[in-house]
């Protein structure tokens, strides 16, 4: 895989995914190195001045009033990193830590933080060699940045703390650096603070979640099409002329997908004539574009915020210049509120998308509402339970997603002796969004599995080319069709993997072209 070059400008979401999830190497561009050198020169001037400068020659937070003499400043930076590496709980996922490190490096590359080039290059070295510091679940309040998570990463640059190497072995950072031919750094003035004062953890998790949700929203359209089709619903409500009466762009996109997915369906055509006396489908079928579309529009807003944050240089203080000599200025850009709010918003729409999916699935299983299908899609109802308990699993996940939809960003616990008296809890919002994304994929998997079984039970009526391709993909992967009861958990997990890998969407697109 081609290395990602970090420059003065922002990294892209695709680059974040490449480095975080796929292990791409990283290098700093020459313009970035020059910008880093320029900011470092400014910090050196300020460090030598008699006037105290926050983060360079003072303490931190509530201790900022103490002026630190020159001979203690290296210790100041080491002490900052060591004391702030105070996380607790399970390790966070490797991809989260790699995203966090890349985004901190991206801010350093703007030339606004004052680190030395060797410090920035060591972060790139760790990423390129697959060395991942151990970061813990708890420790960030999402204000003054993700302090504890970033401090655990900074600690590794000193050759301290624990890391995982490219082979996922847990070992001391010093040993991993030596094995990779990397030298730890001795932090100079301002560097410790610059390494830990950013929204990089919560932003990295937002970018990864949005990448996954883009695929899951399209999967939801596929699942809804299978449900509408197999439950003998009408595609007329998805007509463009009706959608244009309410011109939300996400709604239009989802409706267009549903029209394409249901095109040339023999199942839909079988009940389109004058003999059909059904007036309206249930909301979970008829209103799929409205709900899915609102999810899409919300996620587009989240992407806008993520893009702005990717283009930001988050540190305090920062090196600024407006035609005069460069100077250090304190600011509040480290506050995670903009990111925290959209993390919570994304968790809300993930929960609702799962909720409507579960309602469509439940309709398959109820003989009073499934229009001629066997109860629970069972082979011999009473002897066989069919997909009864698969829906229980779905319902349990949906209930969990509703709890995860409670916003973290409305909470705040003052810290640092009331100096940091309002915090964003953005890291917590990001952690629960990751769980919500995982749960949504599992809920959609059950609907897809139920839809495939129901379409098989409708034969000899022929599904649309798109939904038929999805049914074939499941069957080829070992998810069997209708029949007597069998161990369902492996089939649910296989379908889940097909959902999250994009194979379900790819199967549908093989018949209709790229979905919106």
Degrees to nearest 5, angle at CA 202 with 441 and 348: 45
Whether omega before 460 lies within 30 degrees of 0, making that bond cis, reads yes
Element (H, E) at 138: strand 136-138
**Residue 319, strand partner residues:** 328
Specify which residues 4 forms β-bridges with.
Answer: 26
Of 418, 410, 417, 339, give the one whose Cα is nearest residue 146.
339
Q: What is the DSSP letter of 8?
A: S
Exposed, middle or buried, 460 (CB in 10 Å: 0-12/13-18/19+)? exposed
Contact 442, 383 (CB under 8 A): no
Number of Cβ within 10 Å of residue 301's Cβ equals 13
Two structure tokens written together for 305: 């915020």
N-terminal to C-terminal alpha carbon distance within the chain: 28
Tell me which residues are annotated as active site. 54
| Residues paired with 327 in a beta bridge | 320
**Do residues 305 and 339 make contact, with C-beta atoms less than 8 angstroms apart?**
yes
Q: At 267, list the tokens.
A: 């199942």
Q: What angle do CA 266, 269, 271 make, to 5 degrees?
A: 120
Cβ-in-10-Å burial (0-12, 13-18, 19+) of 296 comes to buried
| Three-point CA angle 338, 12, 120, nearest 5° | 90
Report which DSSP code applies to 3.
Answer: P
């Amino acid at each position: 895989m081609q290395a990602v070059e970090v420059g003065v400008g922002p990294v892209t979401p695709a680059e974040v995914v490449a480095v975080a999830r796929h292990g791409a190497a990283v290098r700093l561009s020459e313009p970035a190195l020059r910008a880093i050198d320029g900011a470092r020169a400014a910090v050196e001037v300020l460090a030598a001045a008699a006037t105290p400068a926050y983060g360079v020659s003072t303490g931190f937070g509530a201790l900022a009033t103490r002026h630190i003499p020159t001979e203690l400043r290296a210790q100041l930076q080491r002490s900052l990193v060591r004391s702030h590496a105070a996380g607790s709980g399970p390790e966070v996922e490797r991809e989260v830590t790699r995203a966090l490190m890349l985004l901190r490096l991206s801010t350093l590359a703007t030339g606004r933080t004052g680190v030395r080039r060797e410090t920035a290059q060591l972060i790139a070295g760790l990423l390129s060699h697959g060395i991942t510091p151990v970061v813990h679940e708890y420790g960030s309040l999402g204000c003054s940045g993700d302090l504890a998570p970033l401090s655990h990463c900074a600690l590794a640059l000193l050759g301290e703390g624990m890391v995982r190497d490219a082979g996922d072995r847990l070992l001391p950072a010093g040993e991993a650096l030596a094995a990779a031919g990397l030298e730890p750094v001795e932090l100079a003035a301002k560097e410790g603070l610059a390494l830990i004062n950013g929204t990089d953890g919560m932003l990295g998790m937002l970018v990864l979640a949005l990448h996954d949700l883009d695929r899951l929203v399209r999967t939801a359209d596929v699942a809804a099409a299978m449900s509408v089709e197999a439950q003998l619903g009408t595609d007329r409500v998805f007509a463009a002329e009706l959608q244009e009466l309410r011109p939300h762009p996400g709604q239009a996109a989802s409706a267009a997908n549903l029209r394409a997915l249901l095109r040339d369906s023999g199942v839909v055509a079988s009940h389109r004539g004058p003999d059909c006396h059904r007036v309206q489908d249930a909301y979970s079928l008829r209103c799929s574009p409205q709900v899915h579309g609102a999810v899409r529009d919300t996620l587009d807003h989240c992407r806008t915020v993520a893009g702005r944050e990717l283009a930001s240089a988050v540190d305090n203080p920062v090196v600024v210049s407006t035609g005069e000599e460069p100077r250090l200025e304190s600011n509040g850009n480290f506050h995670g509120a903009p990111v925290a709010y959209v993390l919570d918003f994304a968790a809300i729409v993930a929960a609702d998308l799962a909720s409507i999916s579960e309602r469509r699935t439940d309709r398959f299983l109820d003989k009073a509402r499934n229009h001629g299908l066997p109860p629970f899609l069972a082979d011999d109802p009473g002897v066989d339970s069919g997909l009864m308990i698969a829906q229980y699993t779905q319902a349990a996940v949906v209930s969990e997603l509703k709890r995860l939809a409670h916003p973290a960003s409305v909470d705040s616990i003052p810290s640092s002796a009331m100096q940091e008296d309002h915090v964003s809890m953005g890291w917590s919002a990001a952690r629960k969004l990751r769980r919500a994304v995982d749960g949504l994929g599992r809920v959609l998997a059950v609907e897809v599995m139920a839809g495939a079984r129901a379409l098989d039970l409708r034969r000899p009526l022929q599904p649309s080319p798109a939904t038929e391709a999805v049914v074939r993909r499941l069957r080829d992967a070992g998810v069997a069709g209708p029949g007597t009861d069998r161990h369902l958990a492996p089939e649910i997990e296989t379908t889940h993997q097909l959902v999250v890998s994009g194979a379900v969407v790819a199967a549908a697109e093989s018949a209709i072209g790229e979905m919106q």
